[in-house]
Amino acid sequence: MKTMKVGNITIDSNIFTLIAGPCVIESETQVMEVASRMKDITGLLGIPFIFKSSFDKANRTSVSAFRGPGIHEGLRILKRVKDELGVPVVTDIHEPYQARIAAEVVDMLQIPAFLCRQTDLLTAAAETGLPVNIKKAQFLSAKDMKNVITKVEESGNEHILLCERGNTFGYNNLVVDMTSIIEMKKFGYPVVFDATHSVQKPGGNLTSTGGNREYVEHLAKAALAVGADLLFMEVHEDPDNAMSDGPNMVRLDEIEVMLKKLIKVYKAVHDFESISCSN
């Protein structure tokens, strides 16, 4: 697997790495609280941590849903996380012009699943030179990601991460095919498993997305067992009252216990692979 730097962190297949934060920036106070607490937890557990939150959620179910503070205010807040806490940051972009602006602050750009085939967006992200985390669309197979990868590579950037987040399975439901992780790893780039978006029920609450956070831990364990290199989780201090994606976000006060279990799975898998290779 190709290694790469995201801020001060090296992405390596032998190191459990977490991308986490609230779905959308709700307030500066909230972001600093969650980021600070997550830094403490991951520091205690000895795992690299990349903070994620969005300045805009352009694909909300309802036109009246909260989208975020916007690009300039959102990036100001993310810069504060980076400067004061020393934590690498990542955020979504939805339009090509946003890539260059966001790249002045963040350490990695993220392409939302619905937009992973948008050539202009991929090219703009690639041309910043930053690592690009590309979420596999809910309607694509793992093998279809080869064309997505090629667009970024041919734009001069091989700092690519691929993210599995489930596939559409009927109306308002997703299912995770764990073989997608295995297939995407064959491309030679790190594979991220998005454990919280994978339990979404898109549009399941009519004017908002539903979800079932009780499955997050189980799917994360399964993803690590088949070889996921990083985990992505959206975390919130009070998910039931969150402004976006509440039903599938992990509670901040429950994340430490969950991570301890997941680290054990990750270590067991890698220990087994080391034994197998030595034999």
Residue from 278, 206, 261, 216 nearest 45 by CA: 261
Distances from the Cα of 126 to the Cαs of 93, 115, 156, 161, in angstroms? 12, 14, 7, 12
pLDDT number for residue 13: 83
User: Which positions ≥6 away from 275 have C-beta within 8 Å?
Assistant: none
Q: Are 93 and 111 in contact (CB under 8 A)?
A: yes
Q: At 268, which helix (H) or strand (E)?
A: helix 255-278
Q: Are 30 and 237 in contact (CB under 8 A)?
A: yes
pLDDT number for residue 244: 87
Instruction: Judge residue 213's burial from the number of C-beta atoms within 10 Å of its C-beta, 0-12 exposed, 13-18 middle, 19 or more buried.
Output: buried
pLDDT number for residue 60: 62
Assign residue 93 a region (left: φ > 0; alpha: ψ between -120 and 50; beta: otherwise): beta
- What is the distance, to the nearest Å, from the Cα of residue 196 to the centroid of all Cα atoms in its chain? 9
Q: Are 115 and 136 in contact (CB under 8 A)?
A: no
pLDDT number for residue 99: 98
User: Which positions ≥6 away from 40 have C-beta within 8 Å?
Assistant: none
Q: Are 52 and 21 in contact (CB under 8 A)?
A: yes
pLDDT number for residue 94: 97
pLDDT number for residue 172: 84
pLDDT number for residue 197: 94
Q: What is the 3-state secondary structure (H, E, C) of 115-134?
A: HCCCHHHHHHHHHCCCCEEE
pLDDT number for residue 1: 82
pLDDT in tens, 244-277: 888 999 999 999 999 999 999 999 998 877 666 6
Q: Are 200 and 215 in contact (CB under 8 A)?
A: no
pLDDT number for residue 208: 59
pLDDT number for residue 165: 96
pLDDT number for residue 276: 63
By residue count, the chain amounts to 279
pTM: 0.94
Structural domains present in the chain: 4-278 (3.20.20.70)
Handedness of CA 82, 136, 132, 260 (dihedral sign): positive
What stretches in the chain show pLDDT beneath 50?
A: none
